[in-house]
Amino acid sequence: MATAEIQRQYDEVIAPHYDRDPLAVTGRALNRAVAHLSEAGCLSRILPPAAVLDVGIGTGLFLEQLRRKAERAILPYGLDISRQMIDLAAARLPDLVAEVDDAARLSRHFDDTHFDLICTHFVTGFVPLNELAPQISRKLKPGGYWSFVGGTSHGFPELQRTARSGLAKFLFGGQEISLADLKTPADEAEVVDILSLSGFDVYHAETFEPELYFGNFDDFMNFAWRGGWLTPFIEELGLQNAGRLLRTLLNTFIFPVSDVHRIVIALARKPD
């Protein structure tokens, strides 16, 4: 998908709704990422101030949470494809140093700074992990940490099954949603393999599987379109413009839907 189209979706659709976090999936995943950092001793008061870069900073939720939990000072930096997201993050973190760009072009930014911690949370749907890893390594100080959070292609199994059904194909003119079109890793093992092969020591890795329930079409759209989880696919199908008849058919024959997401949360360290 073109960068300009991704920017539009985040600026116009996702940014105004992002902090609502339907079903609290983002918030719970980021809580676990902070817990990993705390367990590793990265937030200790005996440590000097930490320069922290959040790639795909969004509205600054993670850095705000990190600053609340850390006993050491946090110096916040951010990169995001969306100007609207950056503006919201800057309002939350007045001392934020930020750039607007695609995560794939991280190496072009912050040339004079090496970081104690770099976070990439929910950006690997657009940038392959094996392309991101060497850029992260170059930006980290020796002994620095990488906090990774990302969905996998095995997420939303019930929605994917439904999208492949004959009824869904009929309603959508033969089109279907397939996470294979994203650049997400398949599972935790793939994430660990890529991090290890890229020279990182993996401190911790887990698969977080939050349960999801969509009682009707509107519940699904609040999560998947406005919440940013499946925005490109929904717009490709034109679901955001669904009329009364299609909405009625979907609520009658598709919803409610119970599902699960599969999110890998990992903490890795660049060797000294």
Asked whether the predicted pLDDT for residue 62 surpasses 90, the reply is yes
The C-alpha atoms of residue 104 and residue 157 are separated, in whole angstroms, by: 28
Q: What is the pLDDT of residues 201-243, one digit of tens each?
A: 999 999 999 999 999 999 999 999 999 999 998 998 899 999 9
Q: Phi/psi at 5 (nearest 5 deg)?
A: -70, -40
Helix (H, G, I), strand (E, B) or coil at 55: strand
Whole-angstrom CA distances from 69 to 40, 144, 222, 243 are 13, 18, 29, 45
Q: Among residues 57, 37, 185, 186, which one has the least CA distance to residue 121?
A: 57
- Flag whether pLDDT at 179 surpasses 80: no
H runs (alpha helix) in 72-147: 83-92, 129-139
Angle, vertex CA 124, rays to CA 120 and CA 125, nearest 5: 140
- Give mean pLDDT, residues 137-143: 97
- pLDDT category, 164, cuts 50, 70, 90? confident
**Whether CATH 3.10.129.10 fits 3-155+180-213+259-269:** no
Grouping H, G, I as helix, E, B as strand and the rest as coil, residue 143 is strand
Q: Which residue type is seen at 130?
A: N
In one-letter notation, the amino acid at residue 25 is V
Q: What is the pTM of this model?
A: 0.94
Query: Considering Cα of 53, then 94, then 72, then 112, what sign does the dihedral take?
Result: positive
pLDDT digits (tens, 9 = 90+) for 2-43: 788 999 999 999 999 999 999 999 999 999 999 999 999 999
- 177 pLDDT higher than 80: no
CA angle 253, 26, 40 (to 5 degrees): 145
Q: What angle do CA 145, 146, 147 make, to 5 degrees?
A: 120
CA–CA separation, 39 and 165 (whole Å): 44
Longest dimension (CA), the chain: 62
Q: pLDDT tens digits for 76-99?
A: 999 999 999 999 999 999 999 999
**Angstrom distance (rounded) from CA 187 to CA 205:** 11
State the CB neighbour count (10 A cutoff) for residue 158. 13
Question: By mean pLDDT, which of 78-82, 170-174, 239-243, 262-266 is the weakest?
Answer: 170-174
Residue 176: pLDDT band (50, 70, 90) is: low
User: Mapping DSSP to helix (H, G, I), strand (E, B) and coil, where does residue 88 land?
Assistant: helix
3-state secondary structure of 260: strand
Continuous H helices in the chain? 3-8, 25-39, 61-69, 83-92, 129-139, 157-163, 166-171, 188-197, 217-221, 231-237, 244-253
